[in-house]
Amino acid sequence: MGILRTVILVVLALWLIGLLFKVAGGLIHILLLIAGVLFIIDLVTGRRGKV
């Protein structure tokens, strides 16, 4: 598993913790957006190097 996927998992875990414990209000949803963007970047760039 690459470093980008590890970052995605950490960001998703932080988002879930923030959502469950009501931390940071609406700003916690920015973490979900960041994780989604990183996931899309991983999908687009991750397949170029593999033949």
Structural tokens at position 16: 């879930």
pLDDT per residue as tens digits for the range 41-51? 878 887 655 55
The rounded distance, in Å, linking the Cα atoms of 10 and 38 is 12
pTM: predicted TM-score of the whole model, two decimal places: 0.56
Answer whether 51's CB lies under 8 Å from 14's CB: no
Answer whether 28's CB lies under 8 Å from 19's CB: yes
pLDDT at 47: 61
Residues constituting the chain = 51
Per-residue pLDDT of the chain (51 residues; tens, 9 = 90+): 578 778 778 888 887 887 788 776 777 777 778 878 888 887 888 765 555
